Homo-oligomer: A and B are copies of this chain.
Amino acid sequence: MKQVITFGEIMMRLSPPLNQRLGQASSLDVTYGGGDANVAAGLAHLGVPAAHVGCFPDNAVGQAAAQHFRGHGVDMQHCVFRGERLGLYFLEVGASLRASRIVYDRADSAFANLQPNWFAWDKILQDAGWLHWTGITPAISAAAAQATGEAIAAARHRGLTVSADVNYRRNLWQYGQRAQDVMPALVAGCDLVVCTEGDAEDLFGIRPEPGTENSFVSMSEQLQARFPTIKQVIATRRDTQSASHERIKGIAYSAGAYHETDFFDINPVVDRIGGGDSFISGFIYGQLTGLALPAALAFATAASALKHTIVGDINLVTAAEVEHIVAGNTSGRLLR
């Protein structure tokens, strides 16, 4: 199987243990993650060769972040170690009606200060079959946006499949360009996009029809009309009961047809960070292993549901474990 390549920022995540608030913590749990790198790591655990491309400060903090992903089986050989700091964020884990809360401290990171010419995409992509990126990356800096564009162009040129998690975070776009001006050109190079109606409206001015299913279909059709390379649009629907209780299902539009899974019930949620990323790595896995769309969507959604029970950003599950859930084994009976 050919490698999947992801590109984006990896941050340090610092959280007070259990449900403590920051002011009462005398230690912080530390892990590392990023919306794109999590996809790579999830794929590696599913058995798909994956490499991540990013940029880290050349110090012990940057090395620790890279080591973390290397341990999870991600090929980090194309990463650049240059710059001053690793972006980081503080996560207070909520419970029940108290939401989890993130305080970002990511400005001016090594990744934000990357130079596009540090990445020789033709070489990086030479053995790869798939490129995945998220809308967070072009939001970070003009250079990051440019590098994303170059990666996509190189990927298309070499015939790779390109996927994007549109993921519009308004308050990230601070460097002087508007998402609405940057994103269309990037999405125009994609085969598969993860996109919600809200993001489609905010970024591309698409107005979906009302109705849960209708709105997704209508949005997908308009996306395809505008960006003809897009073959599939997927998303998750969350029916969030509380910070501790989540229900998710997967939806997809492909070849003119709408698909959805049943809801998966996750109670309690152990860690919901990376839930969307694991949906994507599950779907890519399905595509690469030749699953039909409904099966790929079921696999992706089951993978995402499992992720909610895993500590950290990365989905530490095997393909067999996901298939066990897909087969209906959701009652959690002890496995000896």
Residues of A within 8 A of B (CB): 14, 17-31, 59-61, 63-64, 67-68, 70-73, 84-86, 88, 90, 92, 94-105, 107-108, 169, 240-245, 264-270, 272, 305-306, 308-312, 316, 321, 325, 329-336
Contact of A332 among B68, B71, B100, B312 (CB under 8 A): B100
Q: Choose one: B21, B84, B240; the contact of A107 (CB below 8 Å).
A: B84
A224 to chain B, nearest CB (A): 29
In the bound assembly, the distance between CA atoms of A232 and B127 in angstroms comes to 42
* A336 contact set on B, CB distance < 8 A: 102, 104, 169
Those 3 A-B pairs whose CB atoms lie nearest each other, nearest first: A71-B71, A243-B332, A98-B309
**Contact A19/B61 with A104-B336, A240-B332, A331-B240 known, Cβ cut-off 8 Å:** no
Counted per complex, copies of this chain come to: 6
Chain B nearest Cβ from A302, distance in angstroms: 8
Inter-chain CA distance A73–B308, complex, in Å, is: 29
- Contact A97–B27 (Cβ < 8 Å): no
* Contacts A27-B29, A28-B14, A73-B67 given; does A331 touch B241 at CB 8 Å: yes
Q: Are B30 and A27 in contact (CB under 8 A)?
A: yes
Specify which of B17, B244, B311 is in contact with A19 (CB 8 Å cutoff).
B311
B60→A103 contact, CB < 8 A: yes
A267/B96 in contact, CB under 8 A: yes
Residues of B within 8 A of A71 (CB): 23, 67-68, 70-72
User: Could you name 27 residue pairs across A and B whose Cβ atoms are closer than 8 Å?
Assistant: A17-B27, A21-B316, A23-B64, A24-B312, A24-B316, A27-B29, A27-B30, A28-B28, A59-B103, A60-B103, A70-B71, A71-B71, A84-B105, A84-B107, A85-B105, A88-B105, A94-B332, A95-B332, A96-B267, A96-B309, A97-B306, A101-B334, A101-B335, A102-B334, A102-B336, A243-B309, A245-B267
